[in-house]
């Protein structure tokens, strides 16, 4: 046995109240896991967790806690019988990370160090980590495989690359020291997660004006924002606009469940730390996304062509073969599913979770 005898179905989800984390909670609960969420609510609301309970009809346990608070984490590990951690907690805005790099390194890098120390002390050494395609940087490629060189170009991306390095080093040390219970770590490099749960009860609820394309389009369609700026139409792509690998958030979180199974299986039998791309392998341009949104919503998206955004690549999509081979996972939903579920969430929650929180003081999701 690699770990102390714990219930393999007990999962700690950091950042579980956030966009991707809340979708992961639904999938985990529906797959029979017991879920304990740790979130400091710096970019989320407990309403998302209430909705998770509404979708699944199942309880989950919630701790409002910062992952940098090692004492609090140690207490949680002492009281909950945790087997594996899914680590979503982190700050993710590229622009903000350029303005406040220390905040990003402290929150994301130090936060992960504190988490892994608490895990190690509790002898919990299975981890699924939210990495990002942004770690690849500008290598001049369009389709990225896991062995490609890394080169993040902003503090947010570098925080993810640093965490990957730390996790690889922790794992390598255990293998070198022939540890009895070595780290087993899956680094999941997400491409561009979009969409929402098909119920329309949970989805992406960005603070302020969205940075990312899909929530921006969605808010233009609903009338919250007047006009989308298309950042550049002079890229060397068929229609001149940037191409990305958009992946449905539900497909993405299913990849996490597969990763847990892989950590328990043969690939990770002797421990290890491996990166997997989670993308569809198919790229779409900004104009293709706008067209799909107009088709699904029946609304016209008011847009103008604007200058390129600093730091943007022309084209970036995944080679998802390794995840298929080793995790047995591949994305199943298509672009119209992604757009339809985004629009369903947007129309059912025009103000995101805000309106509900304002009128409902107690939404504690402890169950």
**Does residue 88 belong to the site contacting ligand NAD (CB under 6 A)?**
yes
Among 33, 104, 183, 216, which residue interacts with ligand WQD (rule: CB under 6 A)? 216
- Binding positions for ligand WQD, 278-297, rule CB under 6 A: 286
What residues numbered 70-89 form the site for ligand WQD, per CB under 6 A? none
16: CB partners within 8 A, 6+ apart? 22, 24, 25, 35, 37, 38, 39, 49, 60, 62, 86, 88
Name the pairing type of β-strands 284-285 and 243-244.
Answer: antiparallel
Reported as type and span, the H/E element at residue 117 is helix 111-121
Active site residues: 156
The Cα angle at residue 323 between residues 291 and 204, in degrees rounded to 5? 45
d(CA 45, CA 364): 10
Instruction: Rule CB under 6 A: choose which of 46, 84, 97, 107 binds ligand NAD.
Output: 107
Is residue 97 a contact residue for ligand WQD (CB under 6 A)?
Answer: no
Is residue 2 near ligand WQD by the rule CB under 6 A? no
Residue 177: both structure tokens together: 């020291």
Q: Pick one of 13, 36, 67, 339: the residue that binds ligand NAD (CB under 6 A).
A: 67
Q: Is residue 195 at the binding interface for ligand NAD, with CB under 6 A as the rule? A: no
Among 54, 227, 229, 351, which residue sits at the site for ligand WQD (rule: CB under 6 A)? 229
Q: Confirm or reject binding of residue 40 to ligand NAD (CB under 6 A).
A: yes
- CA distance linking residue 253 with residue 289, whole number of Å: 22
> What is the number of the residue whose Cβ is closest to ligand WQD?
242
Distance CA 315, CA 123 (A): 42
Instruction: Give the total residue count for the chain.
Output: 367
How many other C-beta atoms are found inside a 10 Å radius of the C-beta of residue 295? 12
| 207 contacts ligand WQD (rule: CB under 6 A) | no
Read off the DSSP letter of residue 17. T
The option from ligand NAD, ligand WQD, none interacting with 89 (CB < 5 to 8 A, set by class) reads ligand NAD
| Shortest separation between residue 94's beta carbon and ligand NAD, angstroms | 10
The item of ligand WQD, ligand NAD, none sharing an interface with residue 94, based on CB under 5 to 8 Å by kind, is: ligand WQD
User: Which region among 3-11, 63-71, 170-178, 338-346 touches ligand NAD (by CB under 6 A)?
Assistant: 63-71
Long-range (24+ apart) CB contacts under 8 A made by 350-359 are 350/222, 350/224, 352/203, 352/205, 352/206, 353/45, 353/47, 353/48, 353/51, 353/205, 354/45, 354/205, 356/47, 357/45, 357/46, 357/47
What are the residues binding ligand NAD (CB under 6 A)? 14-15, 17-21, 39-44, 66-68, 88-92, 107, 111, 130, 132, 190, 193
What are the residues binding ligand WQD (CB under 6 A)? 92, 94, 132, 134, 192, 211-213, 216, 228-231, 242, 244, 286, 309, 312
């Amino acid at each position: 046995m690699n770990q102390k005898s714990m219930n393999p179905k007990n999962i700690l989800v950091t950042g579980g109240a956030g966009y991707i984390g809340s979708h992961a909670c639904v999938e985990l609960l529906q797959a029979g896991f017991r879920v304990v969420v740790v979130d400091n609510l710096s970019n989320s609301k407990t309403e998302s967790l209430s909705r998770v309970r509404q979708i699944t009809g199942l309880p989950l346990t919630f701790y409002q806690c910062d992952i940098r608070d090692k004492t609090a984490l140690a207490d949680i590990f002492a009281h909950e019988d945790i087997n594996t951690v899914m680590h979503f907690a982190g700050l993710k805005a590229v622009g903000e990370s350029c303005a406040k790099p220390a905040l990003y390194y402290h929150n994301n890098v130090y936060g992960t160090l504190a988490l892994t120390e608490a895990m190690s002390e509790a002898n919990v050494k299975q981890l699924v980590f939210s990495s990002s395609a942004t770690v690849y940087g500008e290598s001049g490629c369009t389709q990225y495989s896991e062995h490609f060189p890394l080169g993040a170009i902003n503090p947010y991306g570098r925080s993810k690359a640093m965490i990957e390095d730390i996790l690889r080093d922790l794992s390598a040390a255990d293998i070198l020291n022939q540890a009895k219970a070595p780290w087993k770590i899956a680094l999941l490099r997400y491409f561009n997660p979009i969409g929402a749960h098909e119920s329309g009860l949970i989805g992406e609820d960005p603070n302020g004006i969205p940075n990312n394309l899909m929530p921006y389009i969605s808010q233009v369609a609903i009338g919250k924002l007047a006009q989308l700026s298309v950042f550049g139409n002079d890229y060397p792509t068929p229609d001149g606009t940037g191409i990305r690998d958009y992946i449905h958030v539900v497909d993405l979180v299913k990849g996490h469940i597969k990763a847990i199974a892989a950590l328990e299986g043969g690939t990770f039998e002797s421990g290890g730390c491996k990166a997997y791309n989670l993308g569809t392998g198919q790229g779409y341009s900004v104009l293709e996304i706008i067209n799909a949104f107009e088709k699904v919503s029946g609304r016209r998206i008011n847009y103008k062509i604007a200058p390129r955004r600093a730091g943007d690549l022309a084209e970036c999509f995944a080679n998802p073969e390794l995840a298929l081979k080793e995790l047995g996972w591949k994305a199943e939903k298509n672009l119209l599913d992604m757009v339809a579920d985004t629009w369903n969430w947007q129309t059912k929650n025009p103000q995101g979770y805000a309106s509900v929180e304002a009128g409902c003081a107690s939404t504690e999701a402890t169950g």
